[in-house]
Protein backbone atom coordinates (compact mmCIF):
# COMPACT_ATOMS: atom_id res chain seq x y z
CA UNK A 1 0.00 0.00 0.00
CA UNK A 2 1.33 3.46 -0.89
CA UNK A 3 1.95 6.03 1.86
CA UNK A 4 -0.86 8.17 0.43
CA UNK A 5 -3.27 5.22 0.42
CA UNK A 6 -2.25 4.31 3.98
CA UNK A 7 -2.79 7.90 5.13
CA UNK A 8 -6.18 8.06 3.38
CA UNK A 9 -7.24 4.79 4.97
CA UNK A 10 -6.11 6.04 8.39
CA UNK A 11 -8.15 9.21 8.01
CA UNK A 12 -11.10 7.18 6.81
CA UNK A 13 -10.99 4.90 9.82
CA UNK A 14 -10.59 7.84 12.16
CA UNK A 15 -13.66 9.55 10.72
CA UNK A 16 -15.56 6.29 10.75
CA UNK A 17 -14.73 5.70 14.41
CA UNK A 18 -16.16 9.10 15.31
CA UNK A 19 -19.44 8.54 13.52
CA UNK A 20 -22.30 6.93 15.42
CA UNK A 21 -23.78 5.64 12.16
CA UNK A 22 -20.71 3.51 11.48
CA UNK A 23 -19.98 2.00 14.87
CA UNK A 24 -22.04 -1.11 14.19
CA UNK A 25 -20.97 -4.04 12.06
CA UNK A 26 -17.69 -4.91 10.38
CA UNK A 27 -16.06 -2.92 7.58
CA UNK A 28 -13.21 -4.43 5.60
CA UNK A 29 -11.77 -4.51 2.07
CA UNK A 30 -11.41 -7.41 -0.32
CA UNK A 31 -8.76 -7.13 -3.01
CA UNK A 32 -9.38 -8.86 -6.34
CA UNK A 33 -7.43 -8.33 -9.56
CA UNK A 34 -6.49 -4.75 -8.73
CA UNK A 35 -9.80 -3.71 -7.16
CA UNK A 36 -10.00 -2.87 -3.44
CA UNK A 37 -13.67 -3.37 -2.66
CA UNK A 38 -15.32 -2.36 0.64
CA UNK A 39 -17.55 -4.89 2.40
CA UNK A 40 -19.79 -3.79 5.26
CA UNK A 41 -21.43 -6.54 7.31
CA UNK A 42 -24.34 -5.28 9.42
CA UNK A 43 -27.04 -7.01 11.44
CA UNK A 44 -26.72 -10.39 13.13
CA UNK A 45 -23.85 -12.59 11.88
CA UNK A 46 -24.66 -15.00 14.71
CA UNK A 47 -27.84 -15.98 12.85
CA UNK A 48 -25.71 -17.77 10.25
CA UNK A 49 -27.75 -16.09 7.49
CA UNK A 50 -25.83 -13.79 5.15
CA UNK A 51 -27.81 -11.74 2.64
CA UNK A 52 -25.31 -10.34 0.14
CA UNK A 53 -26.38 -7.18 -1.69
CA UNK A 54 -25.45 -7.01 -5.38
CA UNK A 55 -26.07 -3.36 -6.13
CA UNK A 56 -27.17 -1.73 -9.36
CA UNK A 57 -25.34 0.37 -11.89
CA UNK A 58 -22.89 -0.54 -13.15
CA UNK A 59 -21.33 1.93 -10.79
CA UNK A 60 -23.83 2.12 -7.92
CA UNK A 61 -23.07 1.60 -4.24
CA UNK A 62 -24.29 -0.84 -1.58
CA UNK A 63 -22.24 0.73 1.24
CA UNK A 64 -23.93 4.10 0.71
CA UNK A 65 -27.34 2.45 0.94
CA UNK A 66 -26.14 0.52 3.98
CA UNK A 67 -26.06 3.81 5.91
CA UNK A 68 -29.73 3.15 6.69
CA UNK A 69 -30.14 -0.16 4.90
CA UNK A 70 -32.62 -2.98 5.35
CA UNK A 71 -33.22 -2.48 9.07
CA UNK A 72 -35.89 -5.18 9.55
CA UNK A 73 -33.67 -7.77 7.89
CA UNK A 74 -30.65 -6.66 9.89
CA UNK A 75 -32.55 -7.42 13.10
CA UNK A 76 -32.53 -11.16 12.33
CA UNK A 77 -29.86 -11.72 9.69
CA UNK A 78 -26.49 -10.44 8.56
CA UNK A 79 -26.78 -8.12 5.56
CA UNK A 80 -23.63 -7.67 3.49
CA UNK A 81 -23.22 -4.38 1.64
CA UNK A 82 -20.47 -4.88 -0.96
CA UNK A 83 -19.31 -2.26 -3.45
CA UNK A 84 -18.30 -3.86 -6.74
CA UNK A 85 -15.19 -2.97 -8.72
CA UNK A 86 -15.33 0.47 -10.38
CA UNK A 87 -18.32 1.27 -8.20
CA UNK A 88 -19.32 3.03 -5.02
CA UNK A 89 -16.35 3.43 -2.69
CA UNK A 90 -14.12 0.84 -4.32
CA UNK A 91 -10.51 1.79 -4.83
CA UNK A 92 -7.40 0.24 -6.35
CA UNK A 93 -5.94 0.28 -9.83
CA UNK A 94 -8.15 -2.16 -11.74
CA UNK A 95 -8.40 -1.35 -15.46
CA UNK A 96 -12.00 -0.78 -16.64
CA UNK A 97 -10.99 -1.85 -20.14
CA UNK A 98 -9.94 -5.26 -18.79
CA UNK A 99 -13.25 -5.77 -17.00
CA UNK A 100 -15.84 -8.28 -18.17
CA UNK A 101 -19.05 -9.53 -16.58
CA UNK A 102 -17.04 -12.59 -15.52
CA UNK A 103 -14.80 -10.26 -13.47
CA UNK A 104 -17.73 -9.64 -11.13
CA UNK A 105 -18.26 -13.39 -10.69
CA UNK A 106 -14.59 -13.78 -9.70
CA UNK A 107 -14.93 -10.88 -7.25
CA UNK A 108 -18.12 -12.28 -5.73
CA UNK A 109 -16.52 -15.70 -5.28
CA UNK A 110 -13.71 -14.08 -3.33
CA UNK A 111 -16.09 -11.99 -1.21
CA UNK A 112 -18.02 -15.14 -0.27
CA UNK A 113 -14.78 -16.98 0.52
CA UNK A 114 -13.76 -14.17 2.88
CA UNK A 115 -17.16 -14.17 4.57
CA UNK A 116 -16.93 -17.93 5.13
CA UNK A 117 -13.44 -17.52 6.58
CA UNK A 118 -14.49 -14.75 8.98
CA UNK A 119 -17.90 -16.02 10.08
CA UNK A 120 -19.92 -19.16 10.69
CA UNK A 121 -21.91 -18.88 7.46
CA UNK A 122 -24.82 -21.31 7.29
CA UNK A 123 -27.02 -19.80 4.57
CA UNK A 124 -26.06 -17.46 1.73
CA UNK A 125 -28.69 -15.46 -0.13
CA UNK A 126 -27.68 -13.26 -3.06
CA UNK A 127 -29.84 -10.17 -3.62
CA UNK A 128 -29.37 -8.71 -7.11
CA UNK A 129 -30.82 -5.24 -7.72
CA UNK A 130 -31.06 -3.88 -11.30
CA UNK A 131 -27.58 -4.48 -12.80
CA UNK A 132 -26.91 -6.64 -9.75
CA UNK A 133 -29.38 -9.09 -11.27
CA UNK A 134 -26.94 -9.57 -14.14
CA UNK A 135 -24.11 -10.16 -11.66
CA UNK A 136 -26.19 -12.74 -9.79
CA UNK A 137 -27.45 -14.62 -12.85
CA UNK A 138 -23.94 -14.80 -14.31
CA UNK A 139 -22.54 -16.04 -10.99
CA UNK A 140 -25.14 -18.80 -10.78
CA UNK A 141 -25.37 -19.82 -14.43
CA UNK A 142 -22.36 -18.98 -16.57
CA UNK A 143 -18.83 -20.20 -17.03
CA UNK A 144 -16.72 -22.92 -15.54
CA UNK A 145 -17.63 -23.77 -11.96
CA UNK A 146 -21.18 -22.41 -12.02
CA UNK A 147 -22.61 -25.68 -10.60
CA UNK A 148 -20.26 -25.46 -7.61
CA UNK A 149 -21.15 -21.80 -7.11
CA UNK A 150 -24.87 -22.65 -7.09
CA UNK A 151 -24.22 -25.36 -4.51
CA UNK A 152 -22.86 -22.72 -2.13
CA UNK A 153 -25.86 -20.40 -2.45
CA UNK A 154 -29.15 -21.15 -0.73
CA UNK A 155 -31.35 -18.60 -2.44
CA UNK A 156 -31.42 -15.75 -4.97
CA UNK A 157 -33.48 -12.54 -4.85
CA UNK A 158 -33.87 -10.82 -8.22
CA UNK A 159 -35.23 -7.29 -7.62
CA UNK A 160 -35.84 -4.58 -10.24
CA UNK A 161 -33.39 -6.81 -12.08
CA UNK A 162 -32.09 -7.39 -15.55
CA UNK A 163 -29.84 -9.89 -17.28
CA UNK A 164 -30.38 -8.91 -20.92
CA UNK A 165 -30.36 -5.37 -22.28
CA UNK A 166 -31.71 -6.76 -25.53
CA UNK A 167 -34.69 -8.39 -23.83
CA UNK A 168 -35.41 -5.35 -21.64
CA UNK A 169 -35.33 -3.15 -24.73
CA UNK A 170 -37.74 -5.44 -26.55
CA UNK A 171 -40.31 -5.16 -23.77
CA UNK A 172 -39.77 -1.43 -23.20
CA UNK A 173 -39.67 -0.27 -26.84
CA UNK A 174 -43.45 -0.29 -27.62
CA UNK A 175 -44.27 1.84 -24.56
CA UNK A 176 -41.34 4.17 -25.19
CA UNK A 177 -42.32 4.65 -28.83
CA UNK A 178 -45.93 5.36 -27.89
CA UNK A 179 -44.89 7.90 -25.26
CA UNK A 180 -42.49 9.56 -27.71
CA UNK A 181 -45.25 9.94 -30.30
CA UNK A 182 -47.63 11.46 -27.73
CA UNK A 183 -45.04 13.91 -26.49
CA UNK A 184 -43.94 14.90 -30.00
CA UNK A 185 -47.49 16.14 -30.58
CA UNK A 186 -47.89 18.06 -27.34
CA UNK A 187 -44.47 19.56 -26.53
CA UNK A 188 -43.09 22.97 -27.43
CA UNK A 189 -41.01 23.27 -30.58
CA UNK A 190 -37.75 22.56 -28.73
CA UNK A 191 -39.22 19.52 -26.98
CA UNK A 192 -40.90 18.35 -30.16
CA UNK A 193 -37.51 18.00 -31.86
CA UNK A 194 -36.22 15.70 -29.11
CA UNK A 195 -39.31 13.50 -29.12
CA UNK A 196 -39.37 13.27 -32.91
CA UNK A 197 -35.77 12.05 -32.74
CA UNK A 198 -36.93 9.39 -30.26
CA UNK A 199 -39.75 8.34 -32.57
CA UNK A 200 -37.30 8.05 -35.44
CA UNK A 201 -34.90 6.00 -33.30
CA UNK A 202 -37.52 3.48 -32.19
CA UNK A 203 -39.00 3.10 -35.65
CA UNK A 204 -35.62 2.24 -37.19
CA UNK A 205 -34.23 0.24 -34.25
CA UNK A 206 -36.23 -2.95 -33.65
CA UNK A 207 -33.32 -4.33 -31.61
CA UNK A 208 -30.05 -3.08 -30.16
CA UNK A 209 -27.13 -3.31 -32.58
CA UNK A 210 -24.57 -0.95 -30.99
CA UNK A 211 -23.81 0.35 -27.52
CA UNK A 212 -25.07 3.85 -28.34
CA UNK A 213 -28.51 2.37 -28.98
CA UNK A 214 -28.94 1.64 -25.27
CA UNK A 215 -27.85 5.18 -24.34
CA UNK A 216 -30.33 6.67 -26.79
CA UNK A 217 -33.11 4.39 -25.57
CA UNK A 218 -32.38 5.21 -21.94
CA UNK A 219 -32.49 8.95 -22.63
CA UNK A 220 -35.85 8.70 -24.40
CA UNK A 221 -37.41 6.17 -22.05
CA UNK A 222 -36.32 7.87 -18.82
CA UNK A 223 -37.36 11.30 -20.12
CA UNK A 224 -40.83 9.85 -20.60
CA UNK A 225 -40.86 8.70 -16.97
CA UNK A 226 -40.02 5.07 -17.59
CA UNK A 227 -37.88 4.77 -14.46
CA UNK A 228 -40.25 6.56 -12.12
CA UNK A 229 -42.86 5.17 -9.76
CA UNK A 230 -46.42 6.42 -10.29
CA UNK A 231 -46.99 6.56 -6.53
CA UNK A 232 -44.83 8.46 -4.03
CA UNK A 233 -42.51 6.25 -1.99
CA UNK A 234 -43.93 5.96 1.53
CA UNK A 235 -40.60 4.62 2.80
CA UNK A 236 -38.31 7.33 1.42
CA UNK A 237 -35.12 7.64 3.41
CA UNK A 238 -35.57 11.39 3.89
CA UNK A 239 -32.85 13.96 4.45
CA UNK A 240 -29.24 12.79 4.34
CA UNK A 241 -27.76 12.87 7.89
CA UNK A 242 -24.79 15.25 8.32
CA UNK A 243 -22.63 12.28 9.34
CA UNK A 244 -23.01 10.88 5.85
CA UNK A 245 -21.24 13.91 4.44
CA UNK A 246 -18.70 14.77 7.15
CA UNK A 247 -17.87 11.47 8.85
CA UNK A 248 -18.64 8.75 6.39
CA UNK A 249 -16.75 6.30 4.21
CA UNK A 250 -19.22 7.16 1.42
CA UNK A 251 -17.40 9.59 -0.88
CA UNK A 252 -19.54 11.37 -3.46
CA UNK A 253 -16.61 12.32 -5.72
CA UNK A 254 -15.20 8.78 -5.56
CA UNK A 255 -18.57 7.26 -6.39
CA UNK A 256 -18.98 9.65 -9.31
CA UNK A 257 -15.52 8.88 -10.65
CA UNK A 258 -16.10 5.14 -10.34
CA UNK A 259 -19.43 5.28 -12.14
CA UNK A 260 -17.87 7.31 -14.94
CA UNK A 261 -15.01 4.80 -15.27
CA UNK A 262 -17.30 1.77 -15.29
CA UNK A 263 -19.46 3.20 -18.05
CA UNK A 264 -16.72 4.44 -20.39
CA UNK A 265 -15.11 1.12 -21.26
CA UNK A 266 -16.30 0.33 -24.77
CA UNK A 267 -15.46 -3.36 -24.54
CA UNK A 268 -17.39 -3.74 -21.28
CA UNK A 269 -20.36 -1.75 -22.59
CA UNK A 270 -20.46 -3.90 -25.72
CA UNK A 271 -20.75 -7.05 -23.61
CA UNK A 272 -23.28 -5.43 -21.28
CA UNK A 273 -25.53 -4.17 -24.09
CA UNK A 274 -25.15 -6.68 -26.92
CA UNK A 275 -24.26 -10.05 -25.40
CA UNK A 276 -27.46 -12.00 -24.72
CA UNK A 277 -25.81 -15.24 -23.57
CA UNK A 278 -27.31 -15.09 -20.08
CA UNK A 279 -30.77 -15.57 -21.59
CA UNK A 280 -29.62 -19.05 -22.61
CA UNK A 281 -27.46 -19.82 -19.58
CA UNK A 282 -30.07 -19.00 -16.93
CA UNK A 283 -32.06 -22.20 -17.51
CA UNK A 284 -29.56 -24.19 -15.40
CA UNK A 285 -30.36 -22.25 -12.22
CA UNK A 286 -32.06 -24.64 -9.82
CA UNK A 287 -31.97 -22.90 -6.43
CA UNK A 288 -34.86 -21.15 -4.63
CA UNK A 289 -35.63 -17.77 -6.13
CA UNK A 290 -37.72 -14.70 -5.33
CA UNK A 291 -38.33 -12.34 -8.26
CA UNK A 292 -39.58 -8.80 -7.46
CA UNK A 293 -40.15 -6.38 -10.35
CA UNK A 294 -41.91 -3.01 -10.56
CA UNK A 295 -45.17 -3.01 -12.47
CA UNK A 296 -44.30 0.30 -14.16
CA UNK A 297 -40.58 -0.34 -14.66
CA UNK A 298 -39.42 0.30 -18.24
CA UNK A 299 -35.71 0.04 -17.40
CA UNK A 300 -36.01 -3.58 -16.29
CA UNK A 301 -39.59 -4.50 -17.25
CA UNK A 302 -41.47 -6.99 -15.10
CA UNK A 303 -41.66 -9.33 -18.09
CA UNK A 304 -37.89 -9.83 -17.86
CA UNK A 305 -38.38 -11.29 -14.38
CA UNK A 306 -41.28 -13.42 -15.59
CA UNK A 307 -39.09 -14.89 -18.33
CA UNK A 308 -36.40 -15.71 -15.77
CA UNK A 309 -38.69 -17.47 -13.32
CA UNK A 310 -40.30 -19.49 -16.11
CA UNK A 311 -36.95 -20.53 -17.62
CA UNK A 312 -35.09 -21.75 -14.53
CA UNK A 313 -35.02 -25.36 -13.34
CA UNK A 314 -36.04 -24.51 -9.77
CA UNK A 315 -39.10 -26.51 -8.62
CA UNK A 316 -42.31 -24.48 -8.74
CA UNK A 317 -42.78 -24.56 -4.97
CA UNK A 318 -39.34 -22.97 -4.47
CA UNK A 319 -39.78 -19.94 -6.70
CA UNK A 320 -42.03 -16.94 -6.27
CA UNK A 321 -42.85 -13.88 -8.34
CA UNK A 322 -43.88 -10.65 -6.60
CA UNK A 323 -45.00 -7.73 -8.75
CA UNK A 324 -44.46 -4.44 -6.94
CA UNK A 325 -47.68 -2.72 -7.97
CA UNK A 326 -46.71 0.86 -7.06
CA UNK A 327 -43.11 0.84 -8.31
CA UNK A 328 -41.24 1.63 -11.47
CA UNK A 329 -37.48 1.18 -11.42
CA UNK A 330 -37.77 3.33 -8.32
CA UNK A 331 -39.68 2.35 -5.21
CA UNK A 332 -43.27 3.54 -4.90
CA UNK A 333 -46.02 3.35 -2.30
CA UNK A 334 -45.26 0.84 0.44
CA UNK A 335 -43.36 -1.50 -1.90
CA UNK A 336 -40.03 -1.01 -0.13
CA UNK A 337 -41.47 -2.41 3.10
CA UNK A 338 -43.43 -5.10 1.24
CA UNK A 339 -40.23 -6.25 -0.47
CA UNK A 340 -38.26 -6.30 2.79
CA UNK A 341 -40.89 -8.47 4.45
CA UNK A 342 -41.02 -10.78 1.42
CA UNK A 343 -37.25 -11.28 1.53
CA UNK A 344 -37.40 -12.04 5.26
CA UNK A 345 -40.06 -14.69 4.68
CA UNK A 346 -38.07 -16.08 1.75
CA UNK A 347 -34.90 -16.44 3.83
CA UNK A 348 -36.73 -18.03 6.75
CA UNK A 349 -38.18 -20.64 4.43
CA UNK A 350 -34.80 -21.81 3.10
CA UNK A 351 -33.18 -25.04 4.20
CA UNK A 352 -29.94 -24.76 6.15
Taking 70 as the pLDDT cut, the residues of the chain under it are 1-23, 189, 236-263
Euclidean distance between CA atoms 162 and 307, whole angstroms: 11
What local confidence, expressed as pLDDT, does residue 257 receive? 60
Euclidean distance between CA atoms 89 and 12, whole angstroms: 11
By the 8 A CB rule, do 94 and 33 touch?
Answer: yes
Q: In 10 A of CB 51, how many CB atoms?
A: 24
Question: What residues does 128 pair with on adjacent strands?
Answer: 54, 158
Euclidean distance between CA atoms 33 and 43, whole angstroms: 29
Q: What is the pTM of this model?
A: 0.89
Strands 35-43 and 49-54: unpaired
What local confidence, expressed as pLDDT, does residue 85 receive? 93
Q: In 10 A of CB 11, how many CB atoms?
A: 10
Contacts of 261 (CB under 8 A, 6+ apart): 59, 86, 96
What domains does the chain contain, in order, with CATH numbers? Answer: 3-167+231-348 (3.40.50.1820), 169-223 (no CATH)
What local confidence, expressed as pLDDT, does residue 3 receive? 43
What local confidence, expressed as pLDDT, does residue 248 receive? 52
Please write the tens of the pLDDT for every residue from 129-152. Answer: 999 999 999 999 998 899 999 999
By the 8 A CB rule, do 101 and 138 touch?
Answer: yes
By the 8 A CB rule, do 149 and 109 touch?
Answer: yes
Amino acid sequence: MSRLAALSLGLLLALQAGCSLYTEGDWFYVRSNGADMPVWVKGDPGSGDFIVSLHGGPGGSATAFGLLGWQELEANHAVVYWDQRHAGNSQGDADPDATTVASYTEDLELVLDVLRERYDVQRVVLWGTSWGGTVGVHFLASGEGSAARRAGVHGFVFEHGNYSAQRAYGYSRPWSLEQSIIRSRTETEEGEEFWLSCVDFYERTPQLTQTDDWSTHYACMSSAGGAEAPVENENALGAVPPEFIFASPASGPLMGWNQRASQQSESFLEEFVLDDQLSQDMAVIDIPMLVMQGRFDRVAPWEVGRDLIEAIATPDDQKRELILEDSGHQWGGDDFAIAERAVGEFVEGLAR
